[in-house]
Chains A and B, each alone.
Chain A
Amino acid sequence: MKYESQSVAKNYFIFAMVLFAGQVVFGLIMGLQYIVGDFLAGYIPFNVARMVHTNLLIVWLLFGFMGASYYLVPEESETELYSPLLARIMFWVFAAAGVATILGYLFVPYSKLAELTFNDLLPTMGREFLEMPTITKIGVVIVVLAFVFNLGMTILRGRKTVINMVLITGLIGLAVFFLFSFYVPDNLILDKFFWWFVIHLWVEGVWELILGAILAFTLIKVTGVDREIIEKWLYMIIALALISGLIGMGHHYFWIGPSEYWLWLGSIFSAIEPIPFFMMVVFAFKMVRERRLEHGNQIALTWALGTAVMAFLGAGVWGFIHTLAPVNYFTHGSQITAAHGHLAFFGAYSMIVMTIISYAMPIMRGRPQGNCLKAQKLERVGFWVMCISMLGITLALTVAGVWQIVLQRLPDSANALSFMTTQEQLHPIFWVRLACGVAFTSGVAIYFTSFFVGDKRGLVVAD
């Protein structure tokens, strides 16, 4: 660790992993509820489990992004963090708000939670992924502003690298677009139109800048390739991400009210969206091939390559298969969407956070060349089990989606099966998905175990 204040990242990473474990548990509950419909129905209804599952994901990714930023910005800026104290305080504020919100979901009926949190004063609850109470949303705004301020001040007084600038642009975008979550008009169509300004412009926009910056930083560190080359790639990848992704938002506007021209714009531009992800794969492998040093932390390298590949598959390939309007007409809101959501979020965002954790955590624990070989080996097993199981989940959901469309969407109204009947037909495939979910959980357990095994000094390199 080059700067003392980088260590504020540690708590963020640890807490992110705790929330990740929680997310996976609720995923298993829902996986079972898809088959045994009334499992835990009186205690954890499906909608509650889903809120917990998705909100934990969002919050742990935010914790991960924050940890990554607090770690890499001082090192890139070549100066201590502007205020480590502010970063520490905001950690506890965010953690407390997050935990309180999740407990609220679990132990209070949602409408009661709305009442308790004075939702009527500024109603923002009850929209997908943005279910958190208004006061939690305000808390998130405060935490993110303090975070962006802290990093901005650090960058201002230090070295302004491309990675720093791209990262801070992404984070400012994240903060700005989140503000649309406070706009909840009576008109459902307007509501939906601007809801996507949060969701799409996050995951298919500014988050890609954050992802690119973290990946570029890690690659510089573990490959030793010249910064000039890496930065050129970073610029091109995020350029194409924005060029395709901004108007690519149209693929969400096909069937929710906006005009027909979005069918063309959304199809054409989102068809380009896989390209930046493909470039990311080429980039990562090329940098590794041209590496100028042999870093002891080989598993961090594996994570970086894995992120590029899995992000390309999840966001690129699985995004493309249902993004053209004539296809999306049949796949919209089916299990295909769920398949894409799982692989894209895991491949792009969960994995980039685990990449930086894999690189930075050992250093913060006094292991500059990474964990010992035994721990790295175990982490590698965890890596593969998680990746393969998530591909299994995705394939199962894709088969479920195709079969759902065949039974429920392709026939005419007289011959199509109802939604509920169709879902019963899909049970065997949902069992496969659940089995893959169990495998994924074991992968997470193996991965977590790797933090605690082997030589506490980490990898010892003989000079």
Chain B
Amino acid sequence: MADNFTKGMARNIYYGGGVFFFLLLLGLTFDTMLVLPDRDHRENITEAVAKGKHLWEINDCVGCHSIMGEGAYFAPELANVFDRYADSDNDGVGDDEATFEAFLQNWMAIQPLNVPGRRQMPQFNLSKEDVHSLSEFLIWTSRVNDNDWPPNKQG
């Protein structure tokens, strides 16, 4: 670096830039907090949805699956699993909640599949009510405005 560019100048850029952009981040965070309610539809977070999220966490589902593209990449994306399996009119958006829950109840019950060589989901011994909560949580998640991700149903 040029000699007439001093350490003092570099220090000022560091402190000035760091503080400015941190404050900008706080401002944008504040703005996002104002906008989010319309995008996440938090008014639809029922007790079942909250419980479903809790079950999702204490069973470490994110250790294999991704949700909204975040998590592990070992098992299918689940933020759009409702769209994938319960889209009766084939418009890309899930609509049949009863079918989805029935599917999930069955799917959770028959684990592990024990297909040799296939990636294997464990049996989590969840009650019917638990799976109902999980289903409600995944349905709620699928309806968040996520700028139309993923590109197609396969996630």
**Interface contact B152-A412, CB-CB below 8 Å:** yes
Minimum CB–CB distance for A351 against chain B, Å = 24
Knowing A33-B119, A232-B1 are in contact, say whether A51-B60 is a contact too (CB < 8 A).
yes
Query: Contact mask A390-417 → B, CB, 8 Å, 1/0?
Result: 0000000000000000001111110011
**Interface contact A418-B154, CB-CB below 8 Å:** yes
**Interface contact B70-A257, CB-CB below 8 Å:** no
Query: Contact check: which of A45, A123, A247, A411 meets B28 at CB < 8 Å?
Result: A247
Task: Give every chain B residue within 8 A of A338 (Cβ-Cβ).
Answer: 73
Could you tell me which residues of chain B, from 1 to 59, have a CB within 8 Å of some CB in chain A? 1, 5-7, 10-11, 13-14, 17-18, 21-22, 24-25, 28-29, 31-32, 35-36, 39-40, 42, 45, 49-50, 53-54, 56-59
Bound together, the chains give a CA A304 to CA B141 distance in angstroms of 45
Minimum CB–CB distance for A443 against chain B, Å = 25
- Asked if A448 CB lies within 8 Å of chain B CBs, one says no
Query: Contact check: which of B1, B58, B60, B151 meets A329 at CB < 8 Å?
Result: B151
**Interface contact B144-A189, CB-CB below 8 Å:** yes
Knowing A36-B117, A242-B18 are in contact, say whether A111-B40 is a contact too (CB < 8 A).
no
**Interface contact A186-B69, CB-CB below 8 Å:** no
Task: Give every chain A residue within 8 A of B74 (Cβ-Cβ).
Answer: 30, 33-34, 46-47, 50
Knowing A256-B70, A413-B152 are in contact, say whether A420-B21 is a contact too (CB < 8 A).
no
Bound together, the chains give a CA A265 to CA B32 distance in angstroms of 13
Bound together, the chains give a CA A33 to CA B50 distance in angstroms of 32
Q: Spot the interface stretch: A9-17, A126-134, A293-301, A367-375.
A: A126-134
How many residues on chain A are close to B (CB under 8 Å)?
79
**Interface contact B11-A126, CB-CB below 8 Å:** no
- Asked if A463 CB lies within 8 Å of chain B CBs, one says no
Q: Spot the interface stretch: A75-83, A233-241, A307-315, A379-387.
A: A233-241
Query: Contact mask B64-83 → A, CB, 8 Å, 1/0?
Result: 10111111111111000000
Bound together, the chains give a CA A265 to CA B62 distance in angstroms of 27
**Interface contact A47-B21, CB-CB below 8 Å:** no
Bound together, the chains give a CA A51 to CA B63 distance in angstroms of 7
Bound together, the chains give a CA A255 to CA B70 distance in angstroms of 10
Task: Give every chain A residue within 8 A of B40 (Cβ-Cβ).
Answer: 187-190, 257
Bound together, the chains give a CA A330 to CA B150 distance in angstroms of 8
**Interface contact B49-A254, CB-CB below 8 Å:** no
**Interface contact B154-A47, CB-CB below 8 Å:** no
Minimum CB–CB distance for B152 against chain A, Å = 4
- Asked if A48 CB lies within 8 Å of chain B CBs, one says yes
Task: Give every chain A residue within 8 A of B141 (Cβ-Cβ).
Answer: 188
Bound together, the chains give a CA A192 to CA B141 distance in angstroms of 12
- Asked if B129 CB lies within 8 Å of chain A CBs, one says no
Bound together, the chains give a CA A33 to CA B122 distance in angstroms of 14
Q: Top 6 nearest A-B pairs by Cβ distance? A: A47-B63, A126-B57, A333-B69, A37-B119, A255-B149, A235-B10
